[in-house]
Structure 1
Amino acid sequence: MLVDELQTPALVVERAALRHNLDTMTAALPGARLRPHVKAHKCTSLARLQYANGHRSFTCATIREVEALASAGLGDDLLLANEVLDARRLGRLVEHGHRVTIAVDSAETIRAASAGGVHEVLIDVNVGMPRCGCPPEEAGRLADLARRAGLTVRGVMGYEGHLMLVQQEDERRKQTEHAMEQLLAAGADVGGDIISAGGTGTYAVNTWANEIQAGSYALMDTAYHKLGQPFQQALFVLGRVISVSSGWAVADVGLKALSLDHGLPSIDGAEVWFCSDEHTTFKSDSMPPPAVGDLVRVRPAHIDPTVALHDTIHLVDGPQVLDEWPVDMRGWRQR
């Protein structure tokens, strides 16, 4: 199939850019130094490429992602970096020989892990982002509680997500150091071998964690692109111009095809005005102006929720569609 034969809107990933991104990150964080976060792409076909690059442990955001990786034969070491109150589905994976670890930050989540049949946990520590995680000074107590419940505490994790898009690298490094000081102090109280943290925005400055949970680097988006990192935009939402007026054009890519939580998308050589349910309205700088039927590549500002809106990733090389990968980690239910 040719790219211009695809039904739009469609997710397309340029093979060369994806390969560049995977190899660039592997060179920076080889092997177990990187625990790729699959929430960014939700695609076991892409996870297999990360696995082939030597990354045999993965980070997940949902039980469904853990299940899909295990079913794909990628269950060597799976971390659910999220609190859950019903771990029975994960316990069944453990029974079948997969290694599953859960993040816990309370007595309730510790009890859920134990009752669900999961034997290994990380103590989730709040390092400055007001989301999940216990206060650093509570980490040791929770680790003791987990061990009394019969669980193995592998270490700690903390997500400095509030720092991912800090523009100045020196400032990002400084604030990351402060966050990791808290995590390391908690780790000393907790014990275990793992200090898990980080993401695409801090992978190069976080030298304190011994594994980094980066995910967006593989496909990239405009929010991370602004940081000047060595990764290329690999993923686009392909659309077609469906209407042209004096001064603007409209593509068939809207809110149901991409996420705007990090701002408007971008189109090369154009100014995006706004997005509505099924449309992106833009002003093109090109001469001649776009015509009805022209293809446009829309760069999302945030890939994670954008990918989750689609069933399929189309791997492309210029005008050729090379493969179609199911976005098979979408949703929350078992399949």
Structure 2
Amino acid sequence: MHIDELPTPALWADLHVLESNLATMAKLLPGNRLRPHVKAHKTTALARLQYEAGHTGFTCATAREVLGLANAGLGDDLLLANETVDADRLTAMAKSEARVTVAVDSEATVDAAAAAGIAECVVDVRVGFRCGCEVSEAGYLADHARRAGLEVRGVMGYEGHAMGVVDVDRRRELVRAAMERLLQAHEFVGGDLVTGGGTGTHAMNTWVNEIQAGSYVLMDTAYTEQVDQPFKQGLFLQSTVVSVAKKFAVCDAGLKAQGMDHGNPSWGEGEILFCSDEHTNLVPQKSLSVGDRVCLVPAHIDPTMAKHPLLHLVRNEEVVDQWEIDLRHW
């Protein structure tokens, strides 16, 4: 099937780019130096390719991702990098055949994990503006976890505030400051793991012993502005022009088809005016007709993937396969 035969809106990945990004990362961060974050793609089939590339541990954002990977036989070492006190979900993860480690940052999250039968945790340290305990609380929390029967594998800290910074020197300085806090906490906590980082800091975060990058496989548009990124844009949203006015055209891929928290999608053949629920309004460089195809580039892949049941795989404009985006939801 040619790409223009897909019913729209349709999410597709360039297989050549996907394969190149996987190979590039496997060279830069081989084996367990990378713990891929599956929240970026939410797709068991893609996680299996990462596993086959040598990355046998995964970072997960939801219990559904943990359980989905476990059921797929990819549960060698799964880290739930978000806190939860949901007893049913914690119990389901504890009863799975996977090795499951959960992030904790309070007595409440420790107690919930222990009560559900979770065996291992990492202490999540606030090194930016997301979850985590204070550095001064990390040692006490680790001791509390051990008293509750959990093995404390180490510390986690996510420098999310640095990920999208374009200036390399400024980004490096933000990472350094954040990781100094994480290493200070690690002195109080102990354990083998110092885990954090992401696509935006994968090359410069040399303080952690594993990087939790996820977006690198298909890339957010913001990362393409970083001159030190070796990865290419690989995720696209195929749409159809459904209406044409004198000064603009309208295609059928709007807010419900793409994540908008990073801004409008990109389009190389004109200007994006705005997106509404079902539509995107465009000012084309060349005139468009109803029925013409428009290929948008979503700004943020994580929420975009979550809005679609299928990812179509394309090579040289031919659809060669499709993957179920089976790890969506919670």
TM-score range, shorter chain: over 0.9
The answer to whether structure 1 residue 322 and structure 2 residue 330 are counterparts is no
Deviation for aligned residue 1:291: 1.9
Amino acid paired to 2:192: D
CA–CA separation in structure 1 for the residues paired with 2:18 and 2:195 = 25
Deviation for aligned residue 1:4: 1.4
Residues 255 and 278, structure 1, Cα contact 8 Å, conserved in 2? yes
Corresponding residue number in structure 2 for 1:201: 200
Corresponding residue number in structure 2 for 1:12: 12
* 1:61-97 C-alpha deviation (Å, 9 max, x unpaired): 0000001001111000000000010244344444443
What is the aligned-residue RMSD (CA, Å)? Answer: 1.1
Residues 90 and 100, structure 1, Cα contact 8 Å, conserved in 2? no
Corresponding residue number in structure 2 for 1:310: 308
Corresponding residue number in structure 1 for 2:263: 263
Corresponding residue number in structure 1 for 2:106: 106
Q: What SS does the aligned partner of 2:75 have?
A: coil
Residues 94 and 116, structure 2, Cα contact 8 Å, conserved in 1? no
* 1:124-152 C-alpha deviation (Å, 9 max, x unpaired): 000022x2100011101100000000100
> Structure 2 regions of 5+ residues with no counterpart?
none
The answer to whether structure 1 residue 224 and structure 2 residue 223 are counterparts is yes
Residues 198 and 214, structure 1, Cα contact 8 Å, conserved in 2? yes
The answer to whether structure 1 residue 240 and structure 2 residue 235 are counterparts is no
CA–CA separation in structure 1 for the residues paired with 2:79 and 2:279 = 37
Residues 196 and 210, structure 1, Cα contact 8 Å, conserved in 2? yes
Q: What SS does the aligned partner of 2:255 have?
A: coil
CA–CA separation in structure 2 for the residues paired with 1:240 and 1:318 = 20
Residues 197 and 213, structure 2, Cα contact 8 Å, conserved in 1? yes
Corresponding residue number in structure 1 for 2:296: 298
Over the matched positions of the two proteins, sequence identity in percent amounts to 59
Corresponding residue number in structure 2 for 1:213: 212
Corresponding residue number in structure 2 for 1:171: 170
| Matched pairs, number | 329
* 1:205-248 C-alpha deviation (Å, 9 max, x unpaired): 10111001110110112111111311111101110111122121
CA–CA separation in structure 1 for the residues paired with 2:11 and 2:321 = 12
Corresponding residue number in structure 2 for 1:29: 29
Residues 87 and 117, structure 1, Cα contact 8 Å, conserved in 2? no
CA–CA separation in structure 2 for the residues paired with 1:123 and 1:331 = 25
Q: Deviation above 4 Å: which 4+ runs of structure 1?
A: none
Corresponding residue number in structure 2 for 1:252: 252
Question: CA distance change for structure 1 residues 165 and 96 in 2, over 3 Å: closer, same or farther?
Answer: closer
Amino acid paired to 2:125: V
Residues 83 and 104, structure 1, Cα contact 8 Å, conserved in 2? yes
> Structure 1 regions of 5+ residues with no counterpart?
none
Deviation for aligned residue 1:120: 0.2
Amino acid paired to 1:175: L
CA–CA separation in structure 2 for the residues paired with 1:257 and 1:296 = 14
Deviates more, 1:241-250 or 1:48-57: 241-250
Q: What SS does the aligned partner of 2:329 have?
A: coil
CA–CA separation in structure 2 for the residues paired with 1:94 and 1:274 = 45
Amino acid paired to 1:31: G
Corresponding residue number in structure 2 for 1:128: 128
